[in-house]
Amino acid sequence: MAFMPTDTLPAILNQDAGPKDNGQATYLEAVALALDHEMQRDPDTFIIGEDVGQFGGAFKVTKGFLDKYGPRRVVDTPIAETGFTGLAAGAALVGLRPIVEFQFADFISCAFDPIINVLARHHWRTGDPMPVTMRAPFGGRLRAGPTHSQSVESYFAHVPGLKIVMPGTPQDAAGLLISSIRDNNPVLYLENKYLYRRLKAAGPLSMDPIPLGVANVVRPGRDITLVTYSAGVHQGLEIADELDKEGISVEVIDVRTLVPLDVETIVNSVKKTSRAVVLHEAAKRMGYGAEIAATIQEEAFWYLDQPVARIGAKNTPTPTSPPLEDAVIPQPAEIAAAIRAVARA
Amino acid sequence: MATKTKEAPAAAAADAADDLGSRDRDLLLRIYRAMVLTRAVEDRMVAMYKGGDLLGSLYTGHWHEGISVGAASTLRADDYMAPIHRDLGAHLYRGMDAWQVMASFMGKATSPTGGRDGTLHYGRLDLGHYNLPSHIPANFPVATGMAFAAKYRGQDKVCLAFCGDGSTSRADFHEALSMSSVLDLPNVFVIENNQFAYSTPISMQSKSMQFSDKAKAYGIPGVTVDGTDVLAVHDAVAEGVERARAGKGPSIVEGITMRMHGHAEHDPADYVPPAMFEEWSKKDPVELFEKRLVAAGVIDQATAEDTRKQARQAAIDARKKALADPMPTAENIEDGVYAD
C-alpha cells in the first residue's frame, strides 16, 4: 500500500459503505461489519453519536443501521459530546453496552471529563463495570488540518481504567472491535481514517473476537525490531521490504492495543534482534513510543546493542497544506533512514 | 411548557394544616423521620469534623432536607437518582445507612467505596444511587443515561438528577438537558438553589430571574417552589416523576433554600451577609414540617420529641460503629482498575 496521499477528506466523507462482506472488505467496512455483528448478537448494544442515524455517520460507517435497528438502538444526538458520553456512562452503569461514535477524534476533548472522571475511574472506585466502547476516527495525511488530524492516544494512555485499541488491518478492526464491545471496561477504539478505504481484506473476514493485549508479529526479522501500530504497520512493512534488499532484516510488530500492552512479545523480539525502533504518527514528545522505549530498556537493557530510537511527528499541530503536513508526519524516507541508522550502528 | 412559581411560603404552614388529612400518613411520617435523622446525622458529623474524626472537610445539607427528602420520597425503590453532596436526606430516605456515610468521610474499609473514594462520594448502585465525582454537574449526563436505559428496556423507571444553582452554569447541564428533552427521557432535574456556588452568589451566576426559567430553552416544564417546604417540593417533583413515568419527558423543579453552612465545614462563609443567615434561620425546613405535622395532629409533641431523641441516638450509634470499623489495607490497591 502506497502512502501517497492522493485524496482529501471530502472525497472520503462522500463515499458509501454498508455492512456487507464481499470478500474484500475495506477497513471501514470491517468496522461496520463488526458493529452489525454485535448489534445483532447483543440486544443491550446501541450506537449513539452525532449524525450516526439518518445520515449514516460522517464517514458512513453506520450507513443502513437506522433502517435495520431503528431509532431506539441507533441514536442521533445533538452536538453534545459531554452529554452523550455521560449518557453512555449512565446507561452502562445499569447494564447496557453503549457504542459511542465521536465524529472525529479531535472532538473527543469535548468529552474529556466524562471519559476521565466518570468512565475511567468508576469501576476502581465502586466495583460497578462501565462497558462503553468509544469509536473515533483519528490521524493525518488527509490535509484536514490541526483540529481534524490529531492522534489522541497519549492523552488517554495516562489514565488508569481505560483500554486503548488501535487496529491497523481490516481483520483486526473487526476482531478487536468485537472484543472491545464485549469488554466490561471503557474502551477507546481509534480508527485510522486514512486507512478507511485504502485497505482491503484478502478474503471474507472472521467475526471471531481478537483478544485485547496480544501483539502481532506481522513480519518476522533478525536484525532489528520495529514496534508500531495503526497506519505505521503498513509504512513499516513497505520499508522492511526495501531494507531487506539492503540486507537489513526488520521484524515488524503491530501492538494492536496500547492498553493493555503486550510487553512480552516486544521484549522477546528485542532479545532476539538487540535493536529497536518505535514508530507512530503521533507527536514524538510524550508519544506512546516513549512508554514502549522505556519498557524495552527496563525489560531488555542488557540485550540492546543500541539505544532505542523513536520516530514520531514533529512537535507542532498537524498542518493542512500537503508540503507542510508531509514535513510534520513521519515519511518513508526518514523512517527508513532511522531504522538503517540503528541497524547499522 | 410555562415556567411558574408555586407560592408555598412558610406562613402557609399554619393554615395549610388542613391539607395534610388527605395525604398518606405513612408517607408523611417517613418523610419526617428521614428529615429529622438527616439533621441529627449532619449535626453529629459537624461535631465529628470539629473533633477530628473525619479525614478532610465535611459537606452538609442543612436547609436542603426539604428538597432532598421531598424529591426522593416521590420515587419507587427501583427508580434511580444522581444525588449531590447536599442530599444526605435522599440517601437516608432510600436506605443508605448513616454509619456508612460517616465511614466514607473517615476513609474506612466499610465505606461504599472501601476507602478508595471518600468524603461525599458514597453513592450505592444497589440502591439506584449514582456515586458522583467531585465536580457535581458531571452527574447530569449520567442521570440521562440511567433514564435512557430504563426507556430502552421499556421500563417505567425514572431518574432524578440533582444539582445546585452553581452546576447550572456548566456545559454538562445544558448538554444533559438538551439530550434528555430531545430524547424524551424519564428525568426530573432538581435544582437545589441555595444562593451560593461556593462563594459566588446567584446574581453573579445567571441573569435568569429563576433557574427553572431555563426549562423554556429546552421546551420542557419548569417550576420553582419553596425549598424549605418539603411537601411543596414533593408535590412538584411528583408531578415531574408522573410525567416522566408516562413517557412525556423531563422537567425541571427548582427548590429555593439557603446553604446554612459554608461550602464545607472549613469555609466560614464570611462572604454571606449576616442578615441573610438571620432571615433564613427562621425557615428551618425540618422545624417547619414538624410544626405543621403537630398542628395538623398527624403527630403529637411527645412523638416529635421522641423522634428527635431516637435520631440523635441513631447518629451517636452510627458514629460508634464507623469509628470502630477498620481502615482499608493497601495490598490489593491495583486490583479493580479494570473490570474482569
B8: pLDDT strictly greater than 60: no
pLDDT, residue A4, reads: 44
Q: Look at the alpha carbons of B251, B150, A74, A123 in this order and tell me if their dihedral is positive or negative.
A: positive
Q: Is the minimum CB–CB distance between A113 and chain B shorter than 8 Å?
A: yes
Q: Residue A345: helix, strand or coil by DSSP?
A: coil
Interface contact B146-A94, CB threshold 8 A: yes
Give dist(CA B1, CA B36) in Å, integer: 35
Amino acid A18: pLDDT: 52
pLDDT at A15 over 90: no
* Tens digit of each residue's pLDDT (9 = 90 or more) over A243-272: 999 999 999 999 999 999 999 999 999 999
CA-CA distance, A262 to B303, in Å (whole number)? 66
What are φ and ψ of residue B82, in 5° steps? -120, 90
Q: How far does A77 lie from chain B, in Å, by closest CA? A: 7
Catalytic residue among A37, A148, A234, A280: A148
Residue B131 pLDDT > 80, yes or no?
Answer: yes
User: What is the third-level CATH fold of A9-192?
Assistant: Rossmann fold (3.40.50)
- Of the candidates B92, B118, B87, which has an alpha carbon nearest to the alpha carbon of residue B31? B92
Dist. CA B176–CA B161, nearest whole Å? 10
Instruction: Tell whether the model's pLDDT for residue B18 goes beyond 80.
Output: no
Shortest alpha-carbon distance between residue A114 and chain B (Å)? 7
Do the beta carbons of residue B218 and residue B174 sit within 8 Å? no
Whether B327 shows a pLDDT value over 50: the answer reads: yes
Cβ <8 Å between B339 and A130: yes
Tens digits of per-residue pLDDT, A88-113? 999 999 999 999 999 999 999 999 99
Tell me which amino acid residue A187 is: V
Nearest-angstrom CA–CA distance, A235 and A281: 10
Q: The domain B3-165+172-201+228-287+300-324 belongs to what CATH superfamily?
A: Thiamin diphosphate (ThDP)-binding fold, Pyr/PP domains (3.40.50.970)
Q: Does A96 touch chain B (CB under 8 A)?
A: yes
Closest CA to A186 of A158, A164, A168: A164
Is there a contact between B148 and A185 if contact means CB atoms under 8 Å apart?
Answer: no
Q: Determine contact: A54 vs chain B, CB below 8 A.
A: no
Q: What is the mean pLDDT of chain B?
A: 94
Q: Quick one: pLDDT band at residue A11, thresholds 50, 70, 90? A: low
Q: What angle do helix axes B65-72 and B230-245 make, rounded to 10 degrees? A: 30
Q: Residue A19: pLDDT band by 50, 70, 90 thresholds? A: confident
pLDDT number for residue A86: 98
Place of cell 444525588: B83
Please give the average per-residue pLDDT across A303-307, as a whole number: 98
Sequence length of chain A is: 345
B113, B141, B338 ranked by CB distance to A82: nearest: B141
Q: Chain A partners of B125 at a C-beta cutoff of 8 Å?
A: 93-94, 126, 128
- Kindly report the nearest CA distance between residue A183 and chain B, in angstroms: 8
Kindly list the domain boundaries of chain A, sorted by start residue: 9-192, 216-344
Under a CB-based contact definition with an 8 Å cutoff, are residues A140 and A281 in contact? yes
Question: Which tens digits make up the pLDDT trace of A48-96?
Answer: 999 999 999 999 999 999 999 999 999 999 999 999 999 999 999 999 9
Q: Given the DSSP bridges, would you call strands A97-101 and A216-219 parallel, antiparallel or unpaired?
A: unpaired
| Residue A345: pLDDT band with limits 50, 70, 90 | confident
Interchain proximity A87–B140, CB inside 8 Å: no
Contact at 8 Å (CB) between A174 and A165? Answer: no
A148 tagged catalytic = yes
Say whether pLDDT at B16 is over 70. Answer: no
How many angstroms from the chain centroid is the CA of residue B319?
21
d(CA A68, CA A64): 6
Model pLDDT, residue A13: 58
Establish how many alpha carbons lie within 13 A of residue A283's alpha carbon, considering only the half-sphere containing its beta carbon: 14
- Which sign does the torsion angle of CA A210, A214, A215, A217 carry? negative
Residue B167 to chain A, least CA–CA distance (Å): 14
- Global ipTM: 0.94
End-to-end CA distance of chain B: 46
Residue B338 has pLDDT above 80, yes or no: yes
- Cβ neighbours of A74 in B, within 8 Å: none
Looking at residue A6, what is its pLDDT? 47
Mutation target among B148, B151, B159, B335 for the A interface, most CBs of A within 10 A: B148
What confidence tens digit (pLDDT) does each residue in B256-279 have?
Answer: 999 999 999 999 999 999 999 999
User: pLDDT tens digits for A121-157?
Assistant: 999 999 999 999 999 999 999 999 999 999 999 999 9
Please give the pLDDT value at position B21: 86
User: Do residue B179 and residue A91 have CB atoms under 8 angstroms apart?
Assistant: no
Distance from CA of A190 to the nearest CA of B (A): 19
* A164 near B CB under 8 A: no
Checking if the pLDDT of B5 tops 70, the result is no
CB contact A184 to B (< 8 Å): yes
Contacts 24+ apart (CB under 8 A), B132-137: B132/B82, B132/B83, B132/B84, B133/A117, B133/A118, B133/A121, B134/A117, B135/A113, B135/A117, B135/B170, B136/B84, B136/B85, B136/B163, B136/B164, B136/B166, B136/B167, B137/B163, B137/B167, B137/B170, B137/B172, B137/B173
Reported as a pLDDT band with limits 50, 70 and 90, residue B7 is: low
Q: What percent of chain B has pLDDT above 70?
A: 95
| Interface touch A93/B143, C-beta < 8 Å | no
Cβ atoms of A110 and A147 within 8 Å: the answer is no
Which residues in chain A have Cβ-Cβ distances shorter than 8 Å to B163?
none
Helix (H/G/I), strand (E/B), else coil: B303: helix
Euclidean distance between CA atoms A170 and B277, whole angstroms: 65
Beta bridge partners of B223: B4, B253
Q: How many other C-beta atoms can be found within 10 angstroms of the C-beta atom of residue B204?
A: 10
Q: Is B119 on the interface with A (CB under 8 A)?
A: no
**Topology of domain A216-344, per CATH?**
Rossmann fold (3.40.50)
Q: Which pTM does this prediction carry?
A: 0.94
